[in-house]
Structure formats: C-alpha cells, structure tokens
Amino acid sequence: MANGRLSSGVGGLDELIGGGFLEGSNILVTGDPGTGKSILGLQFISNGAANGERGIYLTVEEEENKLASQAKQFGWDLEGLEKEKKVVVNVIEEFDIEEILDQLEKEVKDIKAKRLVVDSLSMMSIFTRVMDPVSKGKKKTNLLHPGGYELTRSQVVGILKRLSELGTTNLIISEGQEISDKIAQFAADGVVGLGINEAIGTRSLTIVKMRETKHPLGKMNTQIGDKGLEIIAKK
C-alpha cells in the first residue's frame, strides 16, 4: 500500500513534491548556518501539531526556550503545544546515541508521534560513545577524539535505519559539511538543500532528491516571511 504524505508546512512546497513528504521517510535538510534549517524544522513540527499530528523536536544545539522564542516570531506557540502534549521538545543531555535513540523510541510510542525533527546530525558526532557497527549495536565504542568524532558510514546508516523504524516522518538537519553529512545524503529518502546569499539578501531551496516523488530540479527562491519559510519563485 502506498504511503501517505505529510505536509511540509512550507508555503508552496507541498504541491511541488506530490502533496508533502512521504510518510515514514527520512528527509535530510542541509545548508550552511543561517539558511533557515531550524525554522524549517519548527515549521514542520508546529504545522503538523496544528493538524493533529504530534511531533518531537530533538535538539542538542538550542536551549528549549530559544526554540520557543524563535517559534513565537512566526506565530507558532511551541510552549502551548507542549502543554497540550502535541509537541515534545527533547534537549539531549545523554552522551550515548543508542540511549538517545531508545529514549526517542519510547517517546514516539508515548505520545503517538507522527513527526520528528533531529537538530542536528552534525551535532550527533560530538557524542563519544556510539553504536559499534561490528557488534550491531550490542557493544559501544568508547572513543574520545579530540575535536570531535566523525561518524562512520555504518553508524550514519545505522542511525537513519533506527529513525526510519520509528515510523515517524523525520526531518534530519545537517550542516552538510562533514563526511557523515555526505553519507547521510545517500542514505536518506529525501534531501532538501537550503541556501543564502547574504550580499543580496536572497534565499533558496533545492529539492536535491525525493524518493517516489516527481519534483523540480534547480534552486527555487524562498523567503522567511511572517509564517516561516515560503517559496516565492520557481526557477
């Protein structure tokens, strides 16, 4: 049976990707800092919650209150949605990816979440104890690398597989600059690239890939308006 679609929440995007993101898929959102990746994540979660689809926002980068104030700029009442148990903002404090994923699995079941935002894959590499691909997760490597730990291909694929098994539709935010981010681009079901030209104040969105979906190629001009990210012109 064909999967349904979940609205991205981005003005003008759904009609270009067959009605939204494929249910149960892993969508990677890549872009440099300041391109609007977290806004897209908040937009996806908040719009879903407004339509009765519960969501989890997993972050290690932002404090919960910073996210709430960012959301407020666009009229998304994150705190209110949390109180109504439509959204859970999970600020990671664990330093073990497996434990984070286990906790996530429990939360998805608890609130019957349909949407998940991981903000971000790049930051996951700061976690020093990760799944050992050889032992298929039974053992954990205990490596402390100065300056960070680069996730291997198996680990990235393993994380995406675990996320996929949650049954949620997942937006995974990535800076797109580390090797693990490049690997994730191959392993993800969809890749959305965000860009910015600071000199002239323009933004873009590119659908790099989207499984089982006809979509336009090339950059589309976007803007961050009152309601978040929106497409203003197709090139």
Helix (H) or strand (E) segment spanning residue 193: strand 190-197
DSSP 8-class letter at 140: B
Of 2 and 200, the one with the shorter C-beta distance to another protein is: 200
204 contributes a contact to another protein by CB under 8 A: yes
For residue 57, the minimal CB distance to another protein (Å) is: 27
* Alpha-carbon distances of 189 from 135, 163, 172, 213, rounded to whole Å: 26, 12, 11, 10
The runs of H, that is alpha helices, within the chain are 37-50, 64-72, 78-83, 97-111, 121-124, 153-165, 179-187
Residues in 55-114 at the binding interface with another protein, rule: CB under 8 A: none
Q: How far is the CB of 214 from another protein (least distance, A)?
A: 19
Q: Taking contact as CB under 8 A, which single stretch among the options 70-78, 114-122, 125-133, 191-199 is the one that binds another protein?
A: 191-199
Binding mask 145-184 for another protein (x = CB under 8 A): ----------------------------------------
- E strand residue ranges, 108-155: 115-119
144's tokens: 């402390």
Q: Does 200 bind another protein (CB under 8 A)?
A: yes
3-state secondary structure of 198: coil
Our CB check for another protein shows the closer of 162 and 219 to be 219
Instruction: Give 147 or 201: the residue with its C-beta nearer to another protein.
Output: 201
Contacting residue, 52, 197, 214, 226, with another protein by CB under 8 A: 197
